[in-house]
A and B are shown apart, each in its own frame.
Chain A
Amino acid sequence: MVEFDAIIVGAGPAGCACAYTLAKQQLKVLLIERGKFAGSKNMWGGALYGPVLGDLSPEFLKEAPIERYVKRRILSLLSEESYFSLESAVNNESPDVPQDGAIILRAKFDRWFAEKARKAGAILANGVQVEDLLWKDGSIVGVKVGKDEIHGSVVVACDGVNSILAQKAGLKAELNPVGVKQGVKEVIKLPLETIEQRFNIQGNEGIAWEFLGKCTRGLPGGGFIYTNKDSLSVGVVVQLNALLENKVKANDLLEDFKRQPVVARLIDGGTLVEYSSHLIPTYGVSSTSRLFSDRFLITGDAAGLVLGTGLILEGANFAIASGIAAAKAIVRAKETGDFSAKALSHYQRLLEDNFVLKDFKTFKKMTHVLENPRLYSTYPDLVCSLWHKIHTNDGNPRKSVRQLLKEELKGRVSWWQLARDLIHMGGSL
């Protein structure tokens, strides 16, 4: 009987990082992916933030199929009549460090990443869906695929947001829509020159553009546009429970979003080449979350390691970092031959020591602020309208900004409420 040192389920960023690290250490690794190829079923916004890919191998930063690097970030508030934007840009001539974000298409990236793991020595099995854990005498000894039983010293669940394995192992409950967002996105193809013109970018420069307000009909969430090389990723991300409670389909919101004049212009003339939908676990990880048990670890989205604070939507970097940490814990366990929960708890300690769980602590309060419904309709409307009025000259004597603000607030939100919200938001930063 073949026994692997580690069976890694799911070849997303977490699984590939874990498999690559283990294979480099000469462990016998099996990486299982249900898609026809790694990435075939995966989607995101999106951009990879931070240097974590380079931690695996400095070469990766050069080799990875990166569409563009985020040169400018834009946040726009949308109202019925207008929009209001904040924009920031990095000044270096050609940004090619992913600190600011490397814009990536998952179908290409995951496939490349899985190939790296395979070349490092991992056995990559595409088109294979793990259905269950394999138990013996109350202990996990592998996974089940159809009638086949596959044995391993440790199983790493890198199977994403709705991790069947984490549930079967008893580390996670079924997904609760309250802690989950739904993302839908289209990839719209446009000639490279058109993209460069419309977004005022060149070379490998790219744009990450987020939208709040009108596009989600007041539901907590937002829209986004990322520039790929010769296509745009256009999508919306919305709180799942809000969608369910209001009987709104995320797809309809995406259609609304695409009809916004500012968006419509950017995508005009493009052809739709891909549509996809995916859930995002934004429930957050707390100090009481347990990400390991006997002969079993959970990483990435399966562990809920996504920061969805509104200002930030990051998961892939945490997925990669957690995959690496899991691999390190497994290498240690292999040395002693002890794969018990106690030995594997090293994994969670590693996460606590590096940026992963620290980031979650830092942004913990943020999620509460984001529940404020005024963020998604009242305030975007107010800001747009106020800004518009400040700059409108209709021939009549102008009013002071204070006066205008007073008029804008009227019927929308009280001074007292506004002050409270501002203090709240400030406090959460």
Chain B
Amino acid sequence: MNIIVCIKQIMDPEIPTGKFKIDPEANRVIPSEGIPPVINPFDAQAIEVALRLKEANGANVTAITVGGQDVEDVVRYAISMGVDEGILVSDEAFKALNSFVTAFILSRAISRIGQYDLILCGRQAADRDAGHVGLMLGEMLNLPIITMAKAVTLSSDKFRVEHVITEGYQVYEVGMPALITISDEIGPPRRPSGWGVIAAAMGKEIPTWSAQDIGVNLSDVDIKSVRSETIRLFIPDSRRKGEVIQGNNVAEASANLMARLRADGII
């Protein structure tokens, strides 16, 4: 069985708010100095699912990412977790992409890989939380899609998928090949072992495919068909104000508080 996991490098979500900056002109987040990016946590969970399937049934797992020149680390991270191969689809033109273009590039790269039985994606990237790429990619590759999986197992050539719904889950069965997006209910992904990290660092060079290699010319992609556009990116003003409401006793203070909340239109 061949499994492909699509992974994305994102800005560390644990970055202190003081260091989070945006460029409102360009509608862009400015990468913060000194805090390196990390793997999207949902993608690490997708890798976890791939590795569990591999352990249970045997599989060859390939992690693939699209980005600029600086995203090799995320592929090495996947290898340190235990995936067999990594592919870096990297081109200066691939730096700031929207979901549609990313899915398009991935679909081309995955077509180049050719053989696959399962494609896994995180349910969304924890930076923009759009959750589009997996769905668009499934469409482009013409695959059955099951989203928000909390468990994936294989029985007689079919995947049994538990799909999360508001108050429980639904069980689906889907044949190969399929695309499944993984939700955080899967639980924490494994951390790379010491040897895993060392082996990944020592490992062979990671194949890098350029736009040309996968036959993508971004100017051919009709940007109008992209259907999503960032109109405005801003940091909401969240200044807090403190005020102590007085009163001679608790009852009076609570009455004052109520009056005040009403006056401010809060209740």
Residues of A near any B CB (own CB < 8 A): 2, 30, 32, 36-37, 39, 105, 107-108, 111, 123-128, 145-148, 150, 189, 271-274
With both chains docked as a complex, state the minimum distance between the C-beta of B101 and any C-beta of chain A, in angstroms.
Answer: 30
- CB within 8 Å of A: which B16-34 residues: 16, 18-19, 33-34
Task: Tell which of B121-129, B181-189, B197-205, B221-229 binds the partner.
Answer: B197-205
> Which 4 residue pairs are nearest across A and B when measured between Cβ atoms?
A145-B194, A148-B194, A107-B34, A148-B195
If A189-B18, A272-B18 touch, whether A146 touches B33 (CB-CB below 8 Å) is no
Confirm or deny: B247 has a beta carbon within 8 angstroms of a beta carbon on chain A: no
The residue in B34, B35, B195 that gathers the most chain A C-beta atoms within 10 A of its C-beta is B34
Chain B residues with CB under 8 Å of A107's CB are 34-35
Asked whether, in the complex, the Cβ of A105 is within 8 Å of the Cβ of B34, the reply is yes
The residue in A2, A36, A124, A128 that gathers the most chain B C-beta atoms within 10 A of its C-beta is A128
If A123-B202, A124-B201, A271-B18 touch, whether A150 touches B195 (CB-CB below 8 Å) is yes
Asked whether, in the complex, the Cβ of A128 is within 8 Å of the Cβ of B18, the reply is no
Question: Within the assembled complex, what's the spacing in Å between the Cα atoms of A271 and B197?
Answer: 36
Confirm or deny: B68 has a beta carbon within 8 angstroms of a beta carbon on chain A: no
With both chains docked as a complex, state the minimum distance between the C-beta of A296 and any C-beta of chain B, in angstroms.
Answer: 19
Asked whether, in the complex, the Cβ of B33 is within 8 Å of the Cβ of A108, the reply is yes
Residues of B near any A CB (own CB < 8 A): 16, 18-19, 33-36, 38, 192-195, 197-198, 201-202
Q: How many A-B contacts are there with CB distance less than 8 Å? A: 48
Q: What are 27 A-to-B residue pairs whose CB atoms are below 8 Å? A: A2-B202, A32-B194, A32-B198, A36-B36, A36-B38, A37-B36, A108-B33, A108-B34, A111-B34, A123-B201, A123-B202, A125-B198, A125-B201, A127-B192, A128-B194, A128-B198, A145-B193, A145-B195, A146-B193, A146-B194, A148-B193, A150-B194, A150-B195, A150-B198, A272-B18, A273-B16, A273-B19
Question: Within the assembled complex, what's the spacing in Å between the Cα atoms of A146 and B191?
Answer: 12
Question: Within the assembled complex, what's the spacing in Å between the Cα atoms of A272 and B16?
Answer: 10
With both chains docked as a complex, state the minimum distance between the C-beta of B34 and any C-beta of chain A, in angstroms.
Answer: 4
If A123-B202, A272-B18, A273-B16 touch, whether A128 touches B34 (CB-CB below 8 Å) is no
Chain A residues with CB under 8 Å of B34's CB are 39, 105, 107-108, 111
Chain A residues with CB under 8 Å of B192's CB are 127
The residue in A124, A125, A150 that gathers the most chain B C-beta atoms within 10 A of its C-beta is A125
Question: Within the assembled complex, what's the spacing in Å between the Cα atoms of A146 and B196?
Answer: 11
Chain B residues with CB under 8 Å of A39's CB are 34
Chain B residues with CB under 8 Å of A126's CB are 197
Q: Looking across the interface, which residue of chain B has its beta carbon closest to that of A271?
A: B18
Chain A residues with CB under 8 Å of B193's CB are 145-148
Question: Within the assembled complex, what's the spacing in Å between the Cα atoms of A105 and B34?
Answer: 9
Question: Within the assembled complex, what's the spacing in Å between the Cα atoms of A113 and B212?
Answer: 34
Question: Besides the contacts A32-B198, A128-B194, A150-B194, what 6 more A-B pairs have beta carbons closer than 8 Å?
Answer: A2-B202, A30-B198, A39-B34, A123-B198, A125-B194, A148-B193
With both chains docked as a complex, state the minimum distance between the C-beta of B35 and any C-beta of chain A, in angstroms.
Answer: 8
If A123-B202, A189-B18, A273-B16 touch, whether A128 touches B33 (CB-CB below 8 Å) is no
Q: Looking across the interface, which residue of chain B has its beta carbon closest to that of A147?
A: B193
Asked whether, in the complex, the Cβ of A125 is within 8 Å of the Cβ of B197, the reply is yes
Question: Within the assembled complex, what's the spacing in Å between the Cα atoms of A47 and B28?
Answer: 34
Chain B residues with CB under 8 Å of A127's CB are 192, 197
Q: Looking across the interface, which residue of chain A has its beta carbon closest to that of B77?
A: A127
Chain B residues with CB under 8 Å of A272's CB are 18
With both chains docked as a complex, state the minimum distance between the C-beta of B227 and any C-beta of chain A, in angstroms.
Answer: 36
Q: Looking across the interface, which residue of chain B has its beta carbon closest to that of A4?
A: B198
Question: Within the assembled complex, what's the spacing in Å between the Cα atoms of A124 and B197?
Answer: 9
Chain A residues with CB under 8 Å of B33's CB are 108
With both chains docked as a complex, state the minimum distance between the C-beta of B135 and any C-beta of chain A, in angstroms.
Answer: 31
Q: Looking across the interface, which residue of chain A has its beta carbon closest to that of B18?
A: A273
Question: Within the assembled complex, what's the spacing in Å between the Cα atoms of A127 and B191?
Answer: 10
Question: Within the assembled complex, what's the spacing in Å between the Cα atoms of A159 and B44?
Answer: 29
Q: Looking across the interface, which residue of chain A has its beta carbon closest to that of B192?
A: A127
With both chains docked as a complex, state the minimum distance between the C-beta of B117 and any C-beta of chain A, in angstroms.
Answer: 31
Q: Looking across the interface, which residue of chain B has its beta carbon closest to that of A118?
A: B201
Chain B residues with CB under 8 Å of A30's CB are 198
Question: Within the assembled complex, what's the spacing in Å between the Cα atoms of A126 and B36?
Answer: 12
Question: Within the assembled complex, what's the spacing in Å between the Cα atoms of A108 and B35?
Answer: 9
Q: Looking across the interface, which residue of chain A has its beta carbon closest to that of B33?
A: A108
Asked whether, in the complex, the Cβ of A128 is within 8 Å of the Cβ of B36, the reply is no
Q: Looking across the interface, which residue of chain A has its beta carbon closest to that of B199?
A: A2
Asked whether, in the complex, the Cβ of A128 is within 8 Å of the Cβ of B197, the reply is yes
With both chains docked as a complex, state the minimum distance between the C-beta of B14 and any C-beta of chain A, in angstroms.
Answer: 10
Chain A residues with CB under 8 Å of B197's CB are 125-128
Chain B residues with CB under 8 Å of A37's CB are 36
Question: Within the assembled complex, what's the spacing in Å between the Cα atoms of A150 and B197?
Answer: 12
Question: Within the assembled complex, what's the spacing in Å between the Cα atoms of A306 and B12?
Answer: 34
Q: Looking across the interface, which residue of chain B has its beta carbon closest to that of A124?
A: B201
Question: Within the assembled complex, what's the spacing in Å between the Cα atoms of A123 and B197?
Answer: 10
With both chains docked as a complex, state the minimum distance between the C-beta of A165 and any C-beta of chain B, in angstroms.
Answer: 15
Chain B residues with CB under 8 Å of A147's CB are 193
Chain B residues with CB under 8 Å of A148's CB are 193-195
Chain B residues with CB under 8 Å of A2's CB are 202
Chain A residues with CB under 8 Å of B201's CB are 123-125
Q: Looking across the interface, which residue of chain B has its beta carbon closest to that of A127?
A: B197
The residue in B16, B33, B201 that gathers the most chain A C-beta atoms within 10 A of its C-beta is B201
The residue in B192, B194, B201, B202 that gathers the most chain A C-beta atoms within 10 A of its C-beta is B194
Q: Looking across the interface, which residue of chain A has its beta carbon closest to that of B38?
A: A36
Q: Looking across the interface, which residue of chain B has its beta carbon closest to that of A272?
A: B18
Question: Within the assembled complex, what's the spacing in Å between the Cα atoms of A123 and B76?
Answer: 13
With both chains docked as a complex, state the minimum distance between the C-beta of A131 and any C-beta of chain B, in angstroms.
Answer: 9
With both chains docked as a complex, state the minimum distance between the C-beta of A298 and any C-beta of chain B, in angstroms.
Answer: 21
Chain B residues with CB under 8 Å of A36's CB are 36, 38
Question: Within the assembled complex, what's the spacing in Å between the Cα atoms of A146 and B192?
Answer: 11
With both chains docked as a complex, state the minimum distance between the C-beta of A145 and any C-beta of chain B, in angstroms.
Answer: 3
With both chains docked as a complex, state the minimum distance between the C-beta of A187 and any C-beta of chain B, in angstroms.
Answer: 10
Question: Within the assembled complex, what's the spacing in Å between the Cα atoms of A146 and B198?
Answer: 13
Chain B residues with CB under 8 Å of A271's CB are 18
Q: Looking across the interface, which residue of chain A has its beta carbon closest to that of B34?
A: A107
Question: Within the assembled complex, what's the spacing in Å between the Cα atoms of A2 and B195?
Answer: 11
With both chains docked as a complex, state the minimum distance between the C-beta of A317 and any C-beta of chain B, in angstroms.
Answer: 22
Chain B residues with CB under 8 Å of A32's CB are 194, 198
Question: Within the assembled complex, what's the spacing in Å between the Cα atoms of A423 and B64?
Answer: 71
Question: Within the assembled complex, what's the spacing in Å between the Cα atoms of A105 and B36?
Answer: 15
Q: Looking across the interface, which residue of chain A has its beta carbon closest to that of B32?
A: A273
Q: Looking across the interface, which residue of chain B has its beta carbon closest to that of A2?
A: B202
